[in-house]
């Protein structure tokens, strides 16, 4: 593959909170249509890494490029880049005072400056994408966690992003609801959406990811295709970690 | 002397006092809102000097008795600013409003701070500017959270408004005391005034509670009481 396909480039990202060095130099390229999954123990900077990419948490050092344009140090243009870099959060963060439909519409109206009718049409289309069109007029408090997360995915999709960052999108959900959200994400991957996913769902990682990055102590310790990581004896640390997840789930 | 005919004879005056009292309350509430809300935003999102200035304001207006504030502005500050010919009504309403702003700012500040921080993060992640996020996401939620506490400002200002009697605003208490001196009826007249205050109080609260119910949204604890 040639480098023209690289949509997101992350170079030597470093971030400390006080004495605590959370990210110690993380670099990778993301090609268009690719799904990269980040796994690893808690506190190894996976979520911080995602927030450094869209500058919700500005990194101390390192650079991020989207389609060849620098996202880091972009000043007020960051609001443009954030439209192009969608984000889905562990706790959904739907706008509590707005219906599902209005949640998806809001940024179309206020950021993209769309007309009401057009925004509504687009929002309904995105809700249909995630199977939530029948819930358009419900408020977040009336939705299950899985439904809320699907709406938040629709909200990110509405901005026509180049890439979507998923920050533990199913960690707040029980297995049943986890499945409905993962189904939506698998569908997006099949349709060619570029995704960076922080998750503990190994089944999802193995079936969807083009590449799995195992993070430990603020760096990418091991990376490769899911097959390679699971079956190549050299990748020991990740297998240890997966073993620990599995045994925890059996408890 | 028969009380009832006297009360009826004075009723138009009492009603003009009611109108004046409600005028004071309305101006004070609106002024308090127009000043209090930006002050709350300044305290939450403003720079250090901004927060400091607002803090001093709140400290001043909450720290002094309402009667002291009223005299200070009526005899000192407004004349000192060359505004000595402002009517007592205007001075009374403005002082009540300035003081109300201090209290309202704290109601709104608490409400803004109680909106989950994820709301701002989600808004910014979609490319909204901070200002747009505050206007479209934070404030609509904060206002709903604030409304029950804000509703309490109505009875507070209504009852406080009676001290405007002291600078000669012709409001309900002023009319009442004129009536007492001219008719020599004491208790029934004060009782009538007390009754009117109670009606204004609970009538107004009922309207506010209806408003709360109307803007209630699932997930926000602002339903009707």
β-strands A219-224, A163-167 pairing: unpaired
ipTM score assigned to the predicted complex = 0.92
State pTM to two decimals: 0.87
Strands (E) located in chain B: none
Q: What is the CATH number of the domain that holds B208?
A: 1.10.3720.10
* Pairing verdict, β A20-31 and A35-39: unpaired
pLDDT for B112 equals: 96
Confirm if B164 and B20 have CB atoms less than 8 A apart.
no
Residue B82 has pLDDT above 60, yes or no: yes
Kindly determine whether residue B116 and residue A95, on different chains, have CB atoms separated by under 8 Å: no
pLDDT tens digits, B181-199: 998 888 988 999 999 999 9
If you ran DSSP here, which 8-state letter would residue B9 be given? H
| Unique residue bearing structure tokens 């083009």 | A210
Residue A2 has pLDDT above 50, yes or no: no
| B225 occurs within a structural domain | no
Instruction: Give the bridge partners for A23, in sequence order.
Output: A15
3-state secondary structure (DSSP) of residue A71:
coil
Of A97, A111, A142, which is closest to B128 when you measure between CB atoms? A111
Closest Cα of chain B to A92: distance in Å? 8
Residue of chain A nearest B115, judged by CA positions = A96
Q: Write down the pLDDT at residue B48.
A: 96
For residue A249, pLDDT over 70 is answered with: no
CA A251 to chain centre: 28
Examine residue B220 and state whether it is found in any structural domain, yes or no: no
Nearest CA in chain A to B215: A97
Asked if residue B202 belongs to a domain, the reply is yes
Q: How confident is the model at residue A1 (pLDDT cuts 50, 70, 90)?
A: very low
Who contacts B55 (Cβ-Cβ below 8 Å, separation ≥6)?
Answer: B43
Average pLDDT rounded to a whole number, residues B192-218: 90
For chain B, percent of residues with pLDDT exceeding 70: 97
- Cβ contact A95–B137 (<8 Å): yes
Neighbours of A187 (CB within 10 A): 13
How much is the CA Rg of chain A, to the nearest whole Å?
18
Per-residue pLDDT for B108 more than 80? yes
- What percent helix, strand, coil does chain B show, rounded to 5? 85, 0, 15
Edge-to-edge strand list for the sheet holding A163-167? A85-88, A163-167, A195-198, A35-39, A211-216, A219-224
What pLDDT shows up at residue A248? 60
B90 found inside a domain: yes
* Number of other residues whose CB lies within 10 A of the CB of residue B120: 19
Going from the C-alpha of A68 to that of each of A4, A10, A28, A87, B33, the distances in angstroms are 9, 11, 14, 20, 48
What does the pLDDT look like over A178-230, one tens digit per residue?
A: 999 999 999 999 999 999 999 988 889 988 999 999 999 999 998 888 888 77
Residues B197 and B157 sit within 8 Å (Cβ to Cβ): no
Q: Does A77 touch chain B (CB under 8 A)?
A: no
Query: Which of B38, B76, B74 is closest to B57 using CA atoms?
Result: B38
CA–CA distance, B205 with B191 (Å, rounded to integer)? 21
B87 to each of A10, A37, A58, B100, how far by Cα in Å? 67, 71, 55, 20
pLDDT tens by residue, B3-18: 888 888 888 999 999 9
Can you say how many angstroms the Cα of residue A12 is from the centroid of all Cα atoms in its chain?
19
Find the domain containing B172 and state its range. Answer: 3-215
pLDDT value of residue A241: 80
Task: Tell me which of B116, B122, B147, B223 to substitute to probe the interface with A (most A C-beta atoms closer than 10 Å).
Answer: B122
Place A4 in a pLDDT band, splitting at 50, 70 and 90.
low
Residue B223 is assigned to a structural domain of this protein: no
Residue B181 falls inside a structural domain: yes
B221 within a domain of the structure (yes/no): no
Predicted confidence at residue A211, as pLDDT, reads 94
Residue B36 domain flag: yes
According to DSSP, the residues that pair with A66 across neighbouring strands are A8, A69
Distance from CA of A24 to the nearest CA of B (A): 24
Q: For CA atoms A44, A46, A47, A53, give the dihedral sign.
A: positive
Q: Are B71 and B166 spatial neighbours (Cβ–Cβ below 8 Å)?
A: yes
**Quick one: pLDDT at residue B224?**
36
Of residues A55, A145, A128, A165, the one with CA closest to residue A94: A145
Give B87 to chain A, closest Cα distance, Å.
Answer: 43
- Which residues in chain B are closer than 8 Å to A91, comparing Cβ atoms? 118
- Those residues whose C-beta lies under 8 Å from the C-beta of residue A20, and which sit 6 or more positions away, are none
A42 compared with A82, residue with greater pLDDT: A82
The overall average pLDDT reported for chain B is: 92
Task: Provide the domain count of chain B.
Answer: 1
Q: What is the pLDDT of residues A19-70, one digit of tens each?
A: 999 999 999 999 999 999 999 988 889 999 999 999 999 999 999 999 999 9
Check if the beta carbon of residue B118 is closer than 8 Å to that of residue B47: no
Q: How does DSSP assign A161-201, residue by residue?
A: -SEEEEESTTTTS-HHHHHHHHHHHHHHHHTT--EEEE-S-
Residue B223 clears pLDDT 70, i.e. is over it: no
Name every residue whose Cβ is closer than 8 Å to that of residue B65 and which is 6 or more positions away in sequence: none
DSSP-assigned letters across all residues of B81-103: TT-TTS-HHHHHHHHHHHHHHHH
């Amino acid at each position: 593959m040639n480098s023209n396909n690289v949509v997101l480039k992350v170079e030597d990202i470093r971030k400390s909170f006080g004495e605590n060095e959370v990210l110690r130099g993380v670099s990778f390229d993301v090609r268009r249509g690719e799904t990269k999954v980040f796994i690893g123990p808690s506190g190894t900077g996976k979520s911080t890494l995602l927030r450094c990419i869209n500058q919700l948490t500005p990194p101390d050092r390192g650079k991020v490029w989207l389609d060849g344009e620098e996202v880091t140090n972009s000043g007020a243009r960051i609001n443009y880049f954030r439209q192009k870099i969608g984000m889905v959060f562990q706790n959904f963060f739907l706008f509590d005072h707005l219906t599902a439909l209005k949640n998806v519409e809001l940024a179309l109206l206020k950021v993209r400056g769309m007309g009401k009718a057009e925004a509504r049409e687009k929002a309904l289309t995105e809700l249909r994408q995630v199977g939530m069109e029948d819930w358009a007029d419900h408020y977040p408090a009336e939705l299950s966690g899985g439904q809320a997360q699907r709406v938040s995915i629709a909200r990110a999709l509405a901005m026509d992003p180049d890439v979507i960052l998923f920050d533990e999108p199913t960690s707040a959900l029980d297995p049943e609801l986890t499945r409905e959200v993962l189904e939506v994400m698998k569908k997006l991957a099949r349709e060619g959406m570029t995704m960076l996913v922080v998750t503990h769902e190994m089944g999802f990682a193995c079936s969807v990811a083009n590449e799995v990055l195992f993070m430990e102590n603020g760096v990418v310790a091991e990376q490769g295709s899911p097959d390679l990581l699971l079956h190549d004896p050299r990748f020991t640390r990740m297998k240890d970690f997966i073993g620990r997840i599995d045994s925890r789930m059996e408890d | 002397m028969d009380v009832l005919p006297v009360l009826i004879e004075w009723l138009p005056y009492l009603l003009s006092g009611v109108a004046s009292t409600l005028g004071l309350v309305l101006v004070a509430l609106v002024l308090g809102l127009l000043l209090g809300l930006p002050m709350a935003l300044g305290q939450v999102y403003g720079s250090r000097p901004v927060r400091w200035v607002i803090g001093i304001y709140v400290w001043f207006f909450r720290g002094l008795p309402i009667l002291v504030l009223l005299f200070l502005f009526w005899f000192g500050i407004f004349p000192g600013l060359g505004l000595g010919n402002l009517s007592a009504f205007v001075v009374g309403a403005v002082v009540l409003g300035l003081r109300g702003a201090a209290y309202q700012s704290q109601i709104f500040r608490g409400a803004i701070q109680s909106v989950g921080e994820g709301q701002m993060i989600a808004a910014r992640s979609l490319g909204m500017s901070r200002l747009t996020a505050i206007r479209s996401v934070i404030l609509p939620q904060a206002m709903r959270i604030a409304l029950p506490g804000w509703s309490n400002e109505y009875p507070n200002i209504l009852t406080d408004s009676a001290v405007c009697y002291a600078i000669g605003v012709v409001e309900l208490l002023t009319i009442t005391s004129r009536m007492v001196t001219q008719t020599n009826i004491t208790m029934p007249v004060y009782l009538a005034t007390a009754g009117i205050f109670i009606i204004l109080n609970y009538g107004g609260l009922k309207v506010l509670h209806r408003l709360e119910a109307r803007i209630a949204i699932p997930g926000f604890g602002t339903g009707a009481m």
